[in-house]
């Protein structure tokens, strides 16, 4: 049984791994952070010290708490330093072969009752678990970046995962002050699946020449109430991450056209224009660069917002229809994981299912593409005059 005395291991000392370690240490756990890159470990120590100093300065923690959190975290460069952990969360590169290799090695080192979890955002938990002799103890515990701030954590059982371990892990992460949702082991889980149209439909609108990037971003913020527009957000996440997740989900869903990546984003990745981190992506972030102005046409903006929203709702509905997660967890995931103004299924009820179906039918009739097929649950709800809530 996981408890306050649970010793937590984190593999990977990058931004995500360090963030998860800080969360667990703040909750009072002894935490071991492993990385075979000594430079990365030293950088992680500096970042942790800086992060805690800022929290102290803002009076969010006391000096005593700062010292205690620091004392709770030990940075190690030998994998066998994780031998006594009760829970280990892997947060390394999104590469299935690399993750499987790490889990296989881990199993030789850790105790028999140690839970092994991956922080993967889009790879199969079942496939990772297959590298272990005891696949029952493997699961997904997916934090969102930055882990210290974002409240959502997706808990993902693999096909072989022990149900009691899932329940215990969920309770433990809840005790860390996080909001947890349970998702079936399918590509992208909840958030990275349901959010795809926020990017892909915006890219489609841009590639068709209906509106430029800044106008699409303006429409989603000003009219839709989203905190960031899709192009701003892709640049912030980085195209080496955002595009790769899109491509991974598309491939894992057997090249389903509704997840098809956009060439305009692929070209940025090929050019090395990764977004803010390289000072150039869809926008230019170089010193002195002038940001373009949006075409603030309300009618156009409404059209853009409605089209993207309808596609998001359709994907949320399909996620429910395929029993990936409950309606409550889907809406919770999108509001807490990516800060959407409201839950998409709740939004569908407000708009009216018949209006959602009409918009999707218009898109499908115009484009004649399977990309715009209507989720069966929308049709079922319309025929039976049911709402999601």
Cis peptide before 81 (omega within 30 of 0): no
The residue assigned the tokens 């330093």 is 81
User: Residue 141 pairs with which residues in a beta bridge?
Assistant: 155
**Catalytic residue from among 18, 86, 121, 381:** 121
* Exposure on the CB side of residue 335, measured as CA atoms within 13 A: 14
Rg (CA), the chain: 22
**Catalytic residue from among 90, 142, 232, 381:** 142
Residues 170, 87: Cα–Cα separation, whole Å: 12
Query: Which residues, including other chains, have CB under 8 Å from residue 226's CB and lie 6 or more apart?
Result: 220, 339, 340, 341
Contact 333, 154 (CB under 8 A): yes
Q: What is the DSSP letter of 282?
A: S
Contact 9, 74 (CB under 8 A): no
Examine the residue annotation and report whether 192 is marked as an active-site residue of this protein.
Answer: yes
Q: How many CB atoms lie within 10 A of CB 350?
A: 10
208-238 b/e (C-beta count within 10 Å ≥ 16 → b)? eeebbbbbbbbbbbebbebebbbbbbbbebb
Strand order, beta sheet including 87-90? 73-76, 31-34, 8-11, 87-90, 115-118, 138-143, 152-157, 179-182
**Catalytic residue from among 192, 200, 242, 375:** 192
Q: Residue 177's closest CA among 199, 150, 195?
A: 150
Torsion, Cα 12 15 18 19, to 10 degrees, reads -130
Query: Which residues, including other chains, have CB under 8 Å from residue 22's CB and lie 6 or more apart?
Result: 48, 51, 52, 69, 73, 147, 148
Crossing angle (nearest 10°) for helices 38-57 and 63-72: 160
Q: Residue 194's closest CA among 365, 15, 375, 355?
A: 375
Residues designated as active site: 121, 142, 154, 192
């Amino acid at each position: 049984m996981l408890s306050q005395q649970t010793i937590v291991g984190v593999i990977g000392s990058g931004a995500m791994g360090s963030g998860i370690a800080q969360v667990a240490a703040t909750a009072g756990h002894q935490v071991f952070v492993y990385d075979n890159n000594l430079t990365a470990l030293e950088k992680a120590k500096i970042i942790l010290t800086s992060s805690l100093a800022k929290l102290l300065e803002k009076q969010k923690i006391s000096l005593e708490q700062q010292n205690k959190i620091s004392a709770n975290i030990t940075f190690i460069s030998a994998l066998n330093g994780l031998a006594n952990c009760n829970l280990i969360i892997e947060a390394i590169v999104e590469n299935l072969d690399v993750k499987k290799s790490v889990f296989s090695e881990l199993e030789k080192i850790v105790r028999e009752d140690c839970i092994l979890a991956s922080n993967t955002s889009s790879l199969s938990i079942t496939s990772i678990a297959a590298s272990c002799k005891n696949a029952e103890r493997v699961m997904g515990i997916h934090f969102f970046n930055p882990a210290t701030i974002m409240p959502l954590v997706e808990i993902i059982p693999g096909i072989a995962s022990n149900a009691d371990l899932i329940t215990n892990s969920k309770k433990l992460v809840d005790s860390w002050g996080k909001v947890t949702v349970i998702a079936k082991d399918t590509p992208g889980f909840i958030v990275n699946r349901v959010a795809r149209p926020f990017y892909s439909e915006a890219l489609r609108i841009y590639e068709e020449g209906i509106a430029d990037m800044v106008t699409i971003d303006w429409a989603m913020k000003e009219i839709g109430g989203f905190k960031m527009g899709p192009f701003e957000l892709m640049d912030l996440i980085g195209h080496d991450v955002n595009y790769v997740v899109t491509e991974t989900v598309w491939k894992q869903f057997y090249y389903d056209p509704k997840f098809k990546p956009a060439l305009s984003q692929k070209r940025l990745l090929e050019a090395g224009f990764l977004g803010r981190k390289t000072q150039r992506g869809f926008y230019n972030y170089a010193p002195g660069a002038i940001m373009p102005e949006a075409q603030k046409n309300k009618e156009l903006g409404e059209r853009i917002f409605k089209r993207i929203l309808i596609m998001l709702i359709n994907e949320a509905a399909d996620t429910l229809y395929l029993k990936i997660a409950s309606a409550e967890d889907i809406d919770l995931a999108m509001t807490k994981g990516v800060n959407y103004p409201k839950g998409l299924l709740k939004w569908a009820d407000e708009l009216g299912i018949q209006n959602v179906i009409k918009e999707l039918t218009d898109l499908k009739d115009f484009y004649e593409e399977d990309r715009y097929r209507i989720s069966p649950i929308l049709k079922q709800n319309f025929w039976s005059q049911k709402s999601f809530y």
